[in-house]
Structures are given as C-alpha cells and as structure tokens.
Structure 1
Amino acid sequence: MIDLRRVQVLRVLAEHGTVSAAATALYVTPSAVSQQIRSLATELGVELLRREGRNVRLTAAAEALLEHADALYEHWERARADIASRDMELTGTLRFTGVSSALAAVVAPAMALLRDRHPGIDTHVRELDSTQIFRVLLADSADIAVGFPTATTPPVDDPRFEQRVFFDDIQDLLVPSGHPLAQRESVTLRDAATEPWILDEPGGDTYDTVITSCAAAGFTPHIVHHVKEWFAVSTFVAQGFGVCLLPRLAPIPNEHAVTRIPLSGSPRPIRTIIGGIRRGAGDHPVIAAGLSALAEVGHDIAAG
C-alpha cells in the first residue's frame, strides 16, 4: 500500500523545487521530507530522486507517479467531502489564505457571515502573496485561497486546483492631491507615461500587472521606488515621490493628501479576484459554505 501522505510530500517537493523549501511549506524538517521520500521509494521499489550537486532532481519514475497523484488526491478530496456531508451540523476549522487587500475586503466579511450562520465552524486566516497562496493550498495548510492571477499562479486548467472568479477589482491612478492630473475626472494610463512610478519588487503581486498594462499603453514606466504595502505606497505618493496604480479594494487613509483618478480608454487594468481550492474539495460542506460566503460578499462588492 502507498501512503498518500508521502505522495503529498513528493507533490510539494516538485512544486517548491528543493527539500528545504518543501520542508518549510509542510512545517517539518528537511530530514523528515527526505525520510518520507525514501520511504515512498522503498514502497514503490523505484528511485524517486537523484542528487545533482547540492540539489535533487525528480526521476522519470517520480514524474510518472505525480501524473497519477493529482487524480488520487482529487478522489481523496471527494471522499473527505462525502464523509463530511453525512453530518447534519457544519463543524470544523476552515482555513483561509490570501493577499492583504482581499483578506480585508472579502475574507473578513465572509468569515463574519460564517460566524453568524454556522457557529460550529472555526476559521483561521493567513496572509500571503498571490505567488504563495496556491503553494500552501497544495501543502494542505489552507482550504481556500483568495487572490488574483499573476505570472506564477497556476493556470485555470491545473489538475490540482479548482478556481472560481468572484469579481473584478478595478485599478485607479493614484497621484498627489496637488498634481496637475488630480483635477481631471478621468485619465488614460498613457497620461502618466512621463511620471515617476512606485511599484513593488519584480515578481511581486502587482508588478507584472503594472508593467504589462503600461506596455499595452505604449510606454515603460520609470520606476523610482519599490514599495509593497499600500499604506506605505500611499504615503510616498502623498509626499510627491511618484504615482502608482491602486486597486479599489485598497483603502486610502483620510489623512493622506492623494487623489484616486479613474482610468478611461484602453488599457484599463483590473485585478480579477479569484478563489482557489484543491480539486475535488468543493463538495465538502464546510468549504462549500466558505465559498458561498465569499461569493456573496464578492457579489455585493461588484454591485456596489
């Protein structure tokens, strides 16, 4: 018999690329990851990893096992859902992960709905970047991930996950209140082509969105500062150090002297807020309740 927990370790190792990174994702030691892989290899009677200097590489046998692992885990998730659906009362812990703006605007209100409607459900939240949320989902360290697609998030047809669209988060141009553009009702993205820009680091959640949108508008932004957290970004804009694109979900402190200007014309950048679960888990009654609450909040945001 194959221990599915060991197959899961192999899946996480394949996703993260190194034993150390897999151990971090699984909250175990690197030696524990190595031991699990060795035990799985013994169970199968094949070699699963090969050393290449300080790194490891999956063998052809490991790749073949992973092709079957996705289907195995989908069946397992459906089995868990079927077992849980036999209980009349919804109980258990529902674990959310997501980006900060989505947690504040979507997940927190959804958790409040769950608290009122299903007091037997405990909730837990973990803030992460969109580049990380699917990894903790795969590692079974979260049940529902809420974020938006980036260059590194899994495609919609990834066999390991199911993805659901909640709503589109429109982005505006944020400028200092005394800026010449601040008096206009709307601007095009190209109107800011000569401005200094404030972005997060390359590879961050919003970096690719801004770069791609500016390229579509016919220019490359002149990036002068790399700032990630929206409160800090708004502060730097208020002090005249640059402009940025700000999602509607991200609030602006009243004391910041900034102006949010709607974008017109093309392109009009948006962030599509999505929810992700492990494939097959959608019928689990607790997870289904969480998805329903998120969809309800998302509908209200889109309507209002």
Structure 2
Amino acid sequence: MIDNRLTMLSMIARHSTVTAAAEALHYSPSTVSHQVKQLATELGVAVLEQHGRNIRLTPAAHSLLGHVDVMSAEWERALADLDAYSTTVTGSITLSAFSTAASILLPQTMRALNEEFPNLATQTIEAEPSECYDLLLAGDVDLGIVAVTTDTPAGPDDRFAQQFLIDDPLDLMVPLDHHLADRSSVSIADARDETWILGRPGTTYHQLVVANCASAGFTPRIGHYANDWNTGTALVHDGFGICVASRLSRSQDLHPVRRIPLTGEHAPTRHIAAVTRAGAQDRRTIRFALDLLTRETQIVMEQLGKGLGDVP
C-alpha cells in the first residue's frame, strides 16, 4: 500500500547511494534514479541534492520519510487488527536469520508455524544482520533474527520493532592438549600470547574480537583468517592457533576441541534480537513466532551451557 518509490527513497537514506539502494532492492541504479526523479516531479519538491561527488536527501525528503514511517507502521497495525476478523490464517510468512541462528532456530520455528497454521506458507532466507533490515524494508521478509552490530540501526528506529532474545557468549576454543584446556573458565587476556584465528578485517566477528582484546590491553597476533566458525575450529583442532566461537555455533561437534567459557568484563558477547517492521509485531503469525523464539532461544542456551566449563 506504500508507493514503491518511497521505499526506494527510504533505502537511499539508509545506504547513502543510489547504487547501494538499487542493489538492496534488486533494481538497476538507473531504474531507482528514474523512479525517484519521477516522484520528485509529482511532489513538486527536490528529494535528492548533489553533495560533492555524492548525493544526499533534502530536508523535504527527510520530512517526507518521517510520514512514510508512520504510514508503514499504521498499515502493519491495520493488518494486525484484521486478524480478529479472520478464522483461517492463509498467505505466507518469510523468516530471515544469520547463518548460526538460521540453522538452529529457523527450522523448528517454521515447523511450529506450519503445525499451528496449516494453510500458511513459510519461507526462510539466510542473510547477514545488516541485510535483514534491507529485506524487512523491502517487504521481502516479515521477521528477522539478527546479531546487533555496528552495521545495524543504532538506538530507537521508528521503522522497526525489535525484541531481545538472548545474549550469545563467545567461548575460547583451544586444542585438547592446550595448556589452558584444564581450566573451567578463562579471561580473554589469558590468551594474549596465543596465535589467533579471526574473521577477516571488516567482518563483525573480527571487529568484536579485536575490540574486546583492545579493551583487555592487548592486540591479538593473528595467524589465520576464517569467517566461518567451523573453519576456525578445524584450524584450532589441527594446532594452528586458538579462536573464539559463538556458543550457538556448536562448532566443536565437528572438530573436537576444548570449549572454555570466557569470563570478565572483556568477554565478547553477541546480542541476538528478533526484528520486524514497526507495527507488524502484533500480527497473529508474527506474534506466534516471536513468542516461540523467545522461549526456544532461552531453552537452547540453557542446554548448550550445561556442562560447559567442566574440566575433562
């Protein structure tokens, strides 16, 4: 019900370039540029202006998008209100999550949705946290599970409704014969002299670990780069260094290593949340999924924490 050109303008505001906005919406840059110019002509105001080599939204465009956010949220609330007049839930719901959460949480969530609403079609899309927000704005996803990072919207954002799920600790992974392997817990500073295996520079994983090492007073000596938890753990297993891995990842199941809880104020943790478009959180199917995820994530983390830290 919202003019698609307004969605294009909103995505330009999010990404700061027409090219990035077009990529997020799966259009060509020329299409987005033409549509936004057409919108400006119809409205009789400029919505984009040149700023050096780049473009930026005009004050009129920012004012317009404030109204768009309100309209979008009201439309989602209207759909939620209509649930009261429907006896059979039909249509579809699409869920999105980053890889670790997608593999552990999404299958059981979709299974529960299918059992509760037999006529509802479900779909999943694996996507990085920042991409989940694009998919939500574009209407391609109804609910996203994200790890809150520097690349995700900071603070209150009227376009989204966010519900905290769990804190996902990062544990230290060391070889079974490592000198720290007999410890029930360690601080990140205890591994200051080790060779580290980190995600590539620019990734959330890399930034999180380096920042926590810096706050503990050291710079990690990086020997290898691996974005995937399983790859990093495989390298640890074969003696190429140590790494940290998400507790949700269960990566030690494939490559036997010692997983040790990190403690202290510098222990890295990922904050996991479920995100919907503002107003959509009260729709029947989405509320069912949110309530289920809130319960299941707590259960999963409790199960993963059992026995962790016990010295073999």
**TM-score, normalisation: structure 1:** 0.92
The amino acid that maps onto 2:151 is T
Could you tell me which residue of structure 1 aligns to residue 310 of structure 2? Answer: none
Could you tell me which residue of structure 2 aligns to residue 224 of structure 1? Answer: 223
Could you tell me which residue of structure 2 aligns to residue 42 of structure 1? Answer: 41
Equivalent residues in 2 for 1:48-197 (5 A)?
Answer: 48-51=47-50, 55-197=54-196
Could you tell me which residue of structure 1 aligns to residue 31 of structure 2? Answer: 32
How far does the alpha carbon of each residue in 1:35-74 deviate from its partner, in whole angstroms, 9 at most, with x for none? 2212211221011123457643222221221232222221
Q: Is the 8 A contact 1:175 1:243 kept in 2?
A: yes
How far does the alpha carbon of each residue in 1:8-58 deviate from its partner, in whole angstroms, 9 at most, with x for none? 110011112222221221122222212221221122101112345764322
How far does residue 207 in structure 1 lie from its aligned partner after superposition?
Answer: 2.1
The amino acid that maps onto 2:173 is L
Once residues 264 and 51 of structure 1 are traced to their aligned partners in structure 2, the CA distance between those partners, rounded to angstroms, is 50
Could you tell me which residue of structure 1 aligns to residue 5 of structure 2? Answer: 6
Q: Is the 8 A contact 2:80 2:280 kept in 1?
A: yes
Once residues 254 and 159 of structure 2 are traced to their aligned partners in structure 1, the CA distance between those partners, rounded to angstroms, is 44
Q: Is the 8 A contact 1:211 1:220 kept in 2?
A: yes
1:290 aligns with 2:289: yes
The amino acid that maps onto 1:181 is L
Q: Is the 8 A contact 2:5 2:35 kept in 1?
A: yes
How far does residue 255 in structure 1 lie from its aligned partner after superposition?
Answer: 5.0
Once residues 255 and 149 of structure 1 are traced to their aligned partners in structure 2, the CA distance between those partners, rounded to angstroms, is 27
Structure 1, unpaired ranges of 5+: none
How far does the alpha carbon of each residue in 1:216-247 deviate from its partner, in whole angstroms, 9 at most, with x for none? 32222122222111121111111222211111
Once residues 159 and 123 of structure 2 are traced to their aligned partners in structure 1, the CA distance between those partners, rounded to angstroms, is 22
Once residues 213 and 281 of structure 1 are traced to their aligned partners in structure 2, the CA distance between those partners, rounded to angstroms, is 35
Alpha-carbon distance change, 254 to 164 in structure 1, aligned in 2, over 3 angstroms: closer
Q: Is the 8 A contact 1:129 1:205 kept in 2?
A: no
The amino acid that maps onto 2:130 is T
Could you tell me which residue of structure 2 aligns to residue 249 of structure 1? Answer: 248
Counterpart secondary structure, 2:121: strand
Q: Bigger CA drift: 50-59 or 143-152?
A: 50-59
Q: Bigger CA drift: 258-267 or 87-96?
A: 258-267
How far does residue 86 in structure 1 lie from its aligned partner after superposition?
Answer: 2.3
Counterpart secondary structure, 2:35: helix
Counterpart secondary structure, 2:152: coil
**TM-score, normalisation: structure 2:** 0.90
Aligned residues with identical type, % of pairs: 39
Q: Is the 8 A contact 1:137 1:278 kept in 2?
A: yes
How far does residue 202 in structure 1 lie from its aligned partner after superposition?
Answer: 2.8
Alpha-carbon distance change, 22 to 85 in structure 1, aligned in 2, over 3 angstroms: farther
How far does residue 5 in structure 1 lie from its aligned partner after superposition?
Answer: 2.1
Q: Is the 8 A contact 2:49 2:58 kept in 1?
A: yes
How far does residue 199 in structure 1 lie from its aligned partner after superposition?
Answer: 1.4
Structure 2, unpaired ranges of 5+: 304-312
How far does the alpha carbon of each residue in 1:247-300 deviate from its partner, in whole angstroms, 9 at most, with x for none? 111022545242111223333322221101111111221222221221221132
How far does the alpha carbon of each residue in 1:72-100 deviate from its partner, in whole angstroms, 9 at most, with x for none? 22112212222344211222211111111
